[in-house]
Structure 1
Amino acid sequence: MTVGAVGLDSARREGTKPLAWWIAPTVPLLAAALAFAWTLHGELQRLYGMTGSAWDYAYDQQVIWNVSVGQGFYSSFARANFLGIHFELILVVLAAVEKFWANPAVLLIFSSAGLAATAPAAYLFFRALLPADRPESPWLAVALSAPIPFWAAIQEAARDFFHPENMALALALLASWAGIRGHRVAMWVLCLLVLTCKEDQVYTVGVIGLLMRVYGAPEIRKHWRFIVYLAGAWFLIGTGIVQQHFRNGGYTDFVYYRWLIGLNPAIHATPTTVLAPAADHVIALVEPFQQTWDVMRVVLHVTVHASTTSCCCCSP
């Protein structure tokens, strides 16, 4: 009887192995499908109901349409080449799609897909990062990755309709996974795609390089510096040369920070000027709580006063 019980238990364990194998990756895929349908449905409702935010969305749609018809990155809003404002070469891919289907919903589809893809991309990343010999690793990867498309930060990005960097997070997670697993070509291609999403994604790729220094596959770990060099070169060439060329030395998002390296004579790089913006951000974060505390203090004062008055009236 004992031998039969052991055999039955062994058979049950063998039967559960295939089930566990396909359940773990299926959960993030289902989460991604649900997030994609939910996000896209909400964005299309806002689009067709004309209740969405049209500023950056209109900018990008016009540029993508211009690229699709051979008019380059020109924007009539800025009356200049859009690459001088944002270095977003990924728009060429969307323009290729709109070449066959010229519809503003294309941007929302790519945006929703990019945000939803963070779940399976994060699952692959965590599976590569966590110990492979631990039975808990797949389930921990599922628990960490499946909720990501529903995070408040991701939903805030979805609320803003379309930004190319909505696709960058999933690409960055896949690039990290490829680097840890030793897929060198895939990692470099994905890093380049991340950089094309926006000029500020050089920070993301730089972090990937630092990650590869510790967790990368052996053939990638010894060349981690080149990933950081790629990010730095993209920043110097894209922002420092190409954008300034199109803007004729005019404003870009990074121009403000020239004073940190002494290129703005109106602002001197001192500890006070460096820490002042950080202090302003802290004050901006604390101020709502201070206002809440002021309201609570007034309510508490009124409540205590009313209670004291009531006690006085009830006393003989």
Structure 2
Amino acid sequence: MPTPLRRLLVRLPVPLTLFALYTAVSVNRHRSMLTSGFDLGIFTQAVRGYAELRAPVAELKSPGFALLGDHFHPVLALLAPLYRLWPSPVTLLVAQAALLALSAVPVTTLATERLGRLAGTSLGLAYGLSWGIQGAVGFDFHEIAFAVPLLAMSLTRLARGHHLATALWALPLLLVKEDQAATVAAIGVLLLLRGSRRLGAALTAVAALAGFLLITVVIPAMNPLGTYEYLHSARGHGENPFARLLLPLDKAWLPLALLAPTLLLAARSSIALIAVPTLLLRMWSANESYWGTGFHYSAVLMPVVFTAMLDARVRHRLIAHAALAVALAWTATGLPLREAVTPDAWRVPSPVTTTETVLALIPEGTAVAADNRFAAALTARHTVYLFPTHPSQGIRPEWVAVSDPPGRSPLPAAENLAAREALPGRGYLLVAGAPGIRLYRLPPPG
């Protein structure tokens, strides 16, 4: 068998298996209305804007809000051709599944080179089933899906000693999100320490300058308030910096959880240090969601720790099989991919079917105020604003779709209920009601 064909057959099974799992679970969650306006709806609006040759405006954030004024992620424009062909939030979910699965190719290839085919396959699957990757699969769509394969390509080159390729794969991270500048700078520092002084220094300088300009000039220029909104929460406000970074003690679980999928072996390689800037930024934040293992925040760190594990020159093949066993056991505790073997997860609840019937009453192309639960399902066919922020004095969509009973996002359930009960007094008539949903309409004048 020719060598290129042999290599292809070695590389394909892991990413194809992972792609099938990621796609099935994420699309099924959307079909069951377990996705949300924040964030799948927001990103769908932005990609729809690119596809229609408009600015990436996200009305769910606020009317006319250019999403590049929130985070810098022009890489999303790459999804515009796909969305043009298939205008649906599902397009974003499938693209994310493909990107995450693609990231397993360089990790599996490096593992196969160093541990053999069987152990390499086990480690590739352990990577793809790691809790950080699964967190991204289970929570809507996010731009960091582009960062994961780029990091995997860059760091596996670093583990092989290919420094120029490392830098070239790292540079596009600056187009994924502004916080990736810290990661690129860390890669530059490591290149410098590993002997490529000029290349490492240049990459670090470019990343530092880009990060500074993005958060002080570029994003504020596109933000309606002229600011980078996340800078305020990053300030210390006179607090003890060590206490803020280390307390509460719940934060100590995050570094340990990141090393656990690699049986702590990633700590033996300096490549693991590339995770430090992201860890510090998250632990410094006052938002406790950043400290835990939920959501999508740790997906970008999985290529770091698994490549570090391989860079540590792990020789025993049983280590790879043990890592896969850990990933499977962790999945069984309730990670998103467990749904793939849970029969009840594939049954669409009857209230969801009823809700889809009610939402279908809204004519295509009209303006809708929808709560967080329904927004993602409507963004491809309508102009969608967030309820209960809207209807407002300036924005009065013709239709309003709200949960029954009221949801708890973005405001507490009691406030959502009060806003819903106020709709008749604002001129809205109840058009349809069913378990899980109420649909209101603003009658046309006359």
Which residue of the other structure, out of 176, 191, 197, is the alignment partner of 2:176?
A: 197
Matches within 5 A, 1:241-280: 241-247=217-223, 248-259=225-236, 267-268=237-238, 272-280=240-248
The code of the aligned residue for 2:46 comes to V
Contact kept, 8 Å, 2:219 with 2:228, in 1: the verdict is no
Pairwise CA distance, 1:107: 0.8
Which residue of the other structure, out of 126, 131, 140, is the alignment partner of 1:152?
A: 131
Q: 1:20 to 1:74 in 2, by over 3 A?
A: closer
Quote the residue 2:52 is aligned against: 69
Pairwise CA distance, 1:204: 2.4
Which residue of the other structure, out of 29, 36, 40, is the alignment partner of 1:53?
A: 36
Contact kept, 8 Å, 1:122 with 1:170, in 2: the verdict is no
- How far apart, CA to CA, are the structure 2 residues paired with 1:230 and 1:283? 31
Matches within 5 A, 1:101-116: 101-116=86-101
Contact kept, 8 Å, 2:163 with 2:191, in 1: the verdict is no
* Unaligned runs of at least 5 residues, structure 1: 1-17, 131-135, 260-266, 287-316
Pairwise CA distance, 1:148: 0.7
Would you say 1:177 and 2:156 are equivalent positions? yes
Contact kept, 8 Å, 2:144 with 2:176, in 1: the verdict is yes
Q: Deviations over 1:33-57 (max 9, x none)?
A: 1111011011112222323233111
TM-score, length basis structure 1: 0.68
Mark the structure with the bigger radius of gyration. Answer: 1
Would you say 1:118 and 2:103 are equivalent positions? yes
Greater RCO between the two (CA within 8 Å, min separation 6)?
Answer: 2
The count of corresponding residues between Structure 1 and Structure 2 is 250
Pairwise CA distance, 1:58: 0.4
The code of the aligned residue for 2:69 comes to G
Matches within 5 A, 1:29-48: 29-48=12-31
- How far apart, CA to CA, are the structure 2 residues paired with 1:141 and 1:210? 29
- How far apart, CA to CA, are the structure 2 residues paired with 1:193 and 1:251? 22
Contact kept, 8 Å, 1:202 with 1:234, in 2: the verdict is yes
The code of the aligned residue for 2:153 comes to L
Quote the residue 1:262 is aligned against: none
Contact kept, 8 Å, 1:118 with 1:145, in 2: the verdict is no
Pairwise CA distance, 1:117: 1.9
Pairwise CA distance, 1:62: 0.2
Larger strand proportion, structure 1 or 2?
2
Q: Deviations over 1:172-207 (max 9, x none)?
A: 1112334545473x5454323222222211232223
The code of the aligned residue for 1:86 comes to H
Would you say 1:224 and 2:200 are equivalent positions? yes
Question: For 1:90, what is the secondary structure of its paired residue?
Answer: helix
Contact kept, 8 Å, 2:215 with 2:228, in 1: the verdict is no
The code of the aligned residue for 2:85 comes to F
Contact kept, 8 Å, 1:25 with 1:123, in 2: the verdict is no
Quote the residue 2:144 is aligned against: 165
TM-score, length basis structure 2: 0.49
- How far apart, CA to CA, are the structure 2 residues paired with 1:21 and 1:67? 37
Identity of aligned residues (%): 21
Contact kept, 8 Å, 2:26 with 2:93, in 1: the verdict is yes
Which residue of the other structure, out of 221, 224, 236, is the alignment partner of 2:212?
A: 236
- How far apart, CA to CA, are the structure 2 residues paired with 1:140 and 1:212? 29
Larger helix proportion, structure 1 or 2?
1
Q: Deviations over 1:123-142 (max 9, x none)?
A: 345578x6xxxxx4666654
The code of the aligned residue for 1:152 comes to W
- How far apart, CA to CA, are the structure 1 residues paired with 2:241 and 2:190? 32
Q: 1:160 to 1:22 in 2, by over 3 A?
A: same
Contact kept, 8 Å, 2:184 with 2:204, in 1: the verdict is yes
- How far apart, CA to CA, are the structure 2 residues paired with 1:234 and 1:283? 29
Q: 1:49 to 1:173 in 2, by over 3 A?
A: same
The code of the aligned residue for 1:38 comes to L
Q: 1:204 to 1:99 in 2, by over 3 A?
A: same
Quote the residue 1:12 is aligned against: none
Q: 1:168 to 1:78 in 2, by over 3 A?
A: same
Q: Which moved more, 1:249-258 or 1:107-116?
A: 249-258
Quote the residue 2:77 is aligned against: 92
Contact kept, 8 Å, 2:182 with 2:207, in 1: the verdict is yes
Pairwise CA distance, 1:284: 9.1
Q: Deviations over 1:52-84 (max 9, x none)?
A: 233111000001101211221222122322111
Pairwise CA distance, 1:221: 5.5
